């Protein structure tokens, strides 16, 4: 009997070693340990027919054999699983790089503009995106008949409240709270009821600038904006101040820079003109000072407003503003 058990052990060991996959291994398990026909199970079941004095010894040996086979099968199974994984996973391949988040190109542009003006002594402030008619229009010297006040052009929430169409109301809010000297910039979102196309989107960004003090002149405005343009686009960029009109500045100007793509010779980006308009500006209108209780005889100021969306488009040669807001990672990943 003992010899039979030894043979059975050798046979099981050999068959387990030779099993090539889980199915074959399971066959071996059934052959030896199967509940109905298993060869070891069979011996265990027939222990009762042995002479009583042989039972403990043989019983112990058979149980040991059973445990031995169970252990061998378990180890072999692990080995087979490992081999299978190695078969279809190439562990020598480099790992997948985790996606790194980054700042939106417009955020990057706003930050760049902010840091240039902070270097000039300006402070960053913000105002509400939901404004009243008073701050968005009235206090900025835009009377009732002004076309921008039309429902066709602005998003009204009710008779009084609307989504601000410009960051200029922040000028008023700051001047109401503080007295000169003032040097602030105010970046933020603005809203207009424009039909969406490559250069218009109902939500866009502006950065407002305001400096108020005694003896502020148009030269200060020119000097500050020239410094800004040279920092932002390079020292060889030229500026051009064109006479313009805004209800809250007098005199007013629109500022162009020499095209950053063609350097002024004319190309697709500047539509052959050699110049790109980047902002509106002017000296604060005395009527605005009166609304906030500043004495226009005592104080002067300059203000400007620029569109970082457009500046970002020019800087990177992007020809469609919609790309900024569709949030397609293939676009955003490039910045
Ligand atoms: N708020 C003006 C606009 O949206 C820009 C501007 C700001 C002009 C400040 C002059 C001074 O067009």
CB of 43 shorter than 6 A to ligand 1: no
Q: What tens-digit pLDDT sequence spans the chain (335 residues)?
A: 666 888 999 999 999 999 999 999 999 999 999 998 899 999 888 888 888 888 888 889 999 999 999 999 999 999 998 888 877 788 888 888 888 889 999 999 999 999 999 999 999 999 999 999 999 999 999 988 877 677 778 999 998 999 999 999 999 999 999 999 999 999 999 999 999 999 899 999 999 999 999 999 999 999 999 999 999 999 999 999 999 999 999 999 999 999 988 888 988 888 899 999 999 999 999 999 999 999 999 999 999 999 999 999 988 889 899 999 998 999 999 99
CB of 304 shorter than 6 A to ligand 1: yes
| Burial call 196-223: b when 16+ CB within 10 Å, e when fewer | eeeeebeebbbbbbbbbeeebeeebbbe
Q: Given this model, what pLDDT does residue 147 score?
A: 73
Q: Given this model, what pLDDT does residue 148 score?
A: 66
The C-alpha atoms of residue 32 and residue 13 are separated, in whole angstroms, by 11
Domain map of the chain by residue range? 2-88, 105-332
**Which residue among 192, 206, 277, 278 is best mutated to probe the pocket of ligand 1, counting the most ligand atoms within 8 A of its Cβ?**
206
The C-alpha atoms of residue 254 and residue 20 are separated, in whole angstroms, by 81
For domain 105-332, the CATH superfamily is Bira Bifunctional Protein; Domain 2 (3.30.930.10)
Ligand 1 centroid–CA 319 distance in Å is: 23
Ligand 1 centroid–CA 304 distance in Å is: 6
Query: Which of ligand 1's atoms lies nearest the C-alpha of 252?
Result: 10
């Amino acid at each position: 009997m003992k010899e039979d058990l030894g043979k059975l052990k050798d046979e099981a060991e050999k068959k387990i070693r030779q099993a090539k996959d889980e199915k074959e291994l399971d066959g071996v398990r059934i052959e030896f340990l199967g509940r109905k026909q298993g060869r070891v199970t069979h011996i265990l079941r027939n222990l009762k027919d042995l002479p009583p004095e042989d039972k403990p010894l043989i019983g112990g040996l058979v149980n040991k054999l059973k445990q031995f086979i169970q252990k061998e099968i378990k180890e072999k199974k692990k080995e087979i699983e490992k081999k299978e994984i190695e078969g279809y996973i190439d562990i020598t391949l480099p790992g997948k790089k985790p996606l790194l988040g980054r700042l939106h190109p417009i955020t990057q542009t706003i930050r760049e503009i902010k840091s240039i003006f902070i270097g000039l002594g300006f402070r960053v402030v913000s105002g509400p995106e939901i404004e009243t008619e008073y701050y968005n229009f009235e206090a900025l010297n835009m009377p009732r008949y002004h076309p921008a006040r039309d429902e066709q052009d602005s998003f009204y929430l009710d008779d009084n409240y609307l989504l601000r169409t410009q960051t200029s109301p922040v000028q008023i809010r700051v001047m109401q709270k503080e007295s000169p000297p003032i040097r602030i910039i105010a970046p933020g979102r603005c809203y207009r009821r424009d039909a969406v196309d490559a250069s218009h989107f109902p939500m866009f960004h502006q950065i407002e600038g305001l400096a108020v003090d005694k003896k502020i002149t148009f030269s200060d405005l020119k000097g500050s904006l020239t410094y800004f343009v040279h920092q932002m686009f390079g020292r060889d960029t030229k500026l051009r101040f064109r006479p313009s009109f805004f209800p809250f500045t007098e005199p007013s100007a629109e500022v162009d820079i020499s095209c950053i793509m063609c350097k002024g010779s004319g190309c697709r980006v500047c539509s052959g003109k050699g110049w790109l308009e980047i902002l509106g500006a002017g000296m604060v209108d005395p009527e605005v000072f009166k609304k906030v209780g500043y004495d226009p005889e005592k104080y002067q100021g300059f203000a400007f407003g620029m569109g970082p969306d457009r500046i970002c488009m020019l800087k990177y040669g992007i020809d469609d503003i919609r790309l900024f807001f569709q949030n397609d990672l293939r676009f955003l990943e490039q910045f």
